[in-house]
A and B are shown apart, each in its own frame.
Chain A
Amino acid sequence: KAGVTQTPRYLIKTRGQQVTLSCSPISGHRSVSWYQQTPGQGLQFLFEYFSETQRNKGNFPGRFSGRQFSNSRSEMNVSTLELGDSALYLCASSFSDEQYFGPGTRLTVT
């Protein structure tokens, strides 16, 4: 089975811009979770989608949003980028309690 894929792998944006990141889960997995990883805060949960519905959300501002499509692929969007949004954004897919991560998208905001 193919693993979790994320595109793009690297992204450079300017403050105030918006960005969309994409995640394709492992075939058959309907749950997709998103995390932000930074050196200072570690791995922080953003939100989780299952069958196109957001079931859970972490403590991030409304500038962070996401969606899931009928084929379980998911996107997350960050609007009005800030320097502090520079991070590795990871998505994980799961069928049960085990989550399998993609390689991440490295976002740099300048």
Chain B
Amino acid sequence: GQQLNQSPQSMFIQEGEDVSMNCTSSSIFNTWLWYKQEPGEGPVLLIALYKAGELTSNGRLTAQFGITRKDSFLNISASIPSDVGIYFCAGNNAGGTSYGKLTFGQGTILTVHP
């Protein structure tokens, strides 16, 4: 089935450093979403991207929708300990055979050392 390749799989960084992670797909998506999941909880939506080339920020988070519609990246600036968690990208092609279906990347595990 459709796969999203997310990298890196894990990151160990010092507090204050910037973080970058990305997702690539073999097929296009109409929407890219980025989520964060903490232990014992469901994923929380961080940023939604709707247009190719779109660059969107949410506080210290910035994400971009690739112009080919097959990739997206997420940057976190000046990381803090509470940024720890698993970050997932997800692609959505709402409608038709894709109703309600998000395709997820494998996740990036982020560890921040104080």
Contact = CB atoms under 8 A, between A and B. Distances in A.
Contact of A56 (B1, B33, B43, B98): B98
Contacts of B97: 56
Contacts of A101: 35, 42-45
Interface stretch (A14-22, A42-50, A76-84): A42-50
Contact of A97 (B30, B42, B44): B30
The size class of the interface chain A forms with chain B is: 20 to 34
A103 B41 contact: yes
B99 A97 contact: no
B85 to A, nearest CB: 14
A97 B92 CA distance: 7
B47 to A, nearest CB: 10
B5 to A, nearest CB: 12
Interface residues of B, number: 28
Interface string A83-110: 0000000101010111111111000000
Interface string A37-71: 00000110101111000011011000000000000
B100 A50 contact: yes
Given A42-B106, A43-B104, A59-B1, A100 B45 contact: yes
Interface in B95-114: 97-107
B41 A97 contact: no
A72 interface: no
Contact of A99 (B41, B45, B50, B98): B45
15 contacts: A32-B100, A42-B104, A43-B43, A45-B103, A49-B100, A50-B100, A55-B99, A56-B101, A58-B101, A96-B94, A97-B31, A97-B48, A97-B50, A99-B92, A102-B42
Interface of A: 4, 31-33, 35, 42-43, 45, 47-50, 55-56, 58-59, 90, 92, 94, 96-104
Interface of B: 1, 30-31, 33, 35, 40-45, 48, 50, 88, 90, 92, 94, 97-107
